Amino acid sequence: MPDYLVKATAAKGQIRAFAVSTKTIVETARTVHHTSPVVTQALGRLLTAGALMGSMIKNRDELLTLKINGDGPIKGLLVTADSQGNVKGYSYVSDLKDTTSIPMTVSDAIGSGSLTIIKDMGLKEPYVGYSPLVSGEIAEDLTYYYAKSEQIPTSVSLGVLLNEDGSVKQAGGFIIQLMPFTDEETILKLENVLADTSSMTKLMDAGKTPEAILKEIFVNLDLNITTTEIVRFFCNCSRDRVTKALIAIGEAELEDMIADGESTEINCDFCSEKYVFSTEDLQLLLNAIRKKEKETEV
């Protein structure tokens, strides 16, 4: 079954909720990037957050970027998502060797640092939100970000459960947000339920679907599931995009690459796809740039 996300409202529109299953997304990332277990968990959580937050995007052309920088051995994570359910990402360090007898946690791997949210809405300048990491566990960091940077009371839960061989057994998460007009009684009910709700990994290990998780949380809060959407790991890189990037670096850089006399290999950070350009390919690009410059001068 493909990964999917559900959107819902509760308490007569006073609450909005999103829940998602991301097992295939996280397993794809693990396979593509050859991540060790703790990196799989960290990247998987941020990919899950990306899928959830991407579903909140209103404009089709808008792009969301989640970036974590930390002083731990992972060093950082980067995830992008759009409104069509596409998400991709990578860790700055993929194969993290854990030499300790006690397994490294995600917070150990990330360390102290910052969370940056970039929303490119096609305007002159993108919106950039920033907050310090409060735990390095990602879900808590996003909850803090929403409270401090966007002033939206939010509960975030993310989980990645692994098999003994390091492959992904389950992955998913939810985001619950209160509307500005939510009454105190509803807030109290939700707080009590969330306090008694099991961790995301336990819910998923029990076989709970996104719908079942929301139904368990909002059992007495008039849940209304409004939308179900497919989500996937998808990278839109292409040889054409890489070619445009090479053109953008300018004549001098291309001349240096050609002078090396060797083919140039460019790897996509998000999906590890390799694009090889021979010296002849690079010379053709250089010739095209020079031809365009001459035509412009005329």
Is the predicted pLDDT of residue 42 greater than 60, yes or no?
A: yes
70-86: average pLDDT: 96
The CATH code of domain 4-233 reads 3.55.30.10
3-29: average pLDDT: 97
54-75: pLDDT as tens digits: 999 988 889 999 999 999 999 9
159-204: pLDDT as tens digits: 999 999 999 999 999 999 999 999 999 999 999 999 999 999 999 9
114-170: pLDDT as tens digits: 999 999 877 778 889 999 999 999 999 999 999 999 999 999 999 999 999 999 999
Task: State residue 121's pLDDT score.
Answer: 75
Yes or no: say if 105 and 38 are a contact pair by the CB < 8 Å rule: yes
262-272: pLDDT as tens digits: 999 999 999 99
Task: State residue 98's pLDDT score.
Answer: 65
DSSP summary character for residue 103: P
220-278: pLDDT as tens digits: 899 999 999 999 999 999 999 999 999 888 888 999 999 988 999 999 999 999 999 99
How far is residue 67's CA from residue 130's CA, in Å, rounded to a whole number?
10
Give the percent of the chain with pLDDT over 90.
84
How far is residue 94's CA from residue 234's CA, in Å, rounded to a whole number?
19
Q: Is the domain defined by 239-297 classed in CATH 3.90.1280.10?
A: yes
| Domain boundary assignment for the chain | 4-233, 239-297
Is the predicted pLDDT of residue 298 greater than 60, yes or no?
A: no
Q: Is the pTM of this model over 0.85?
A: yes
Burial class (CB in 10 A: 0-12, 13-18, 19+), 185: exposed
The amino acid at residue 134 is: V
Yes or no: say if 162 and 41 are a contact pair by the CB < 8 Å rule: yes
Task: State residue 135's pLDDT score.
Answer: 96
The residues, any chain, with a CB within 8 Å of residue 174's CB and separated by 6 or more, are 17, 18, 19, 20, 52, 155, 156, 157, 200, 210, 213, 214, 217
Is the predicted pLDDT of residue 101 greater than 70, yes or no?
A: no
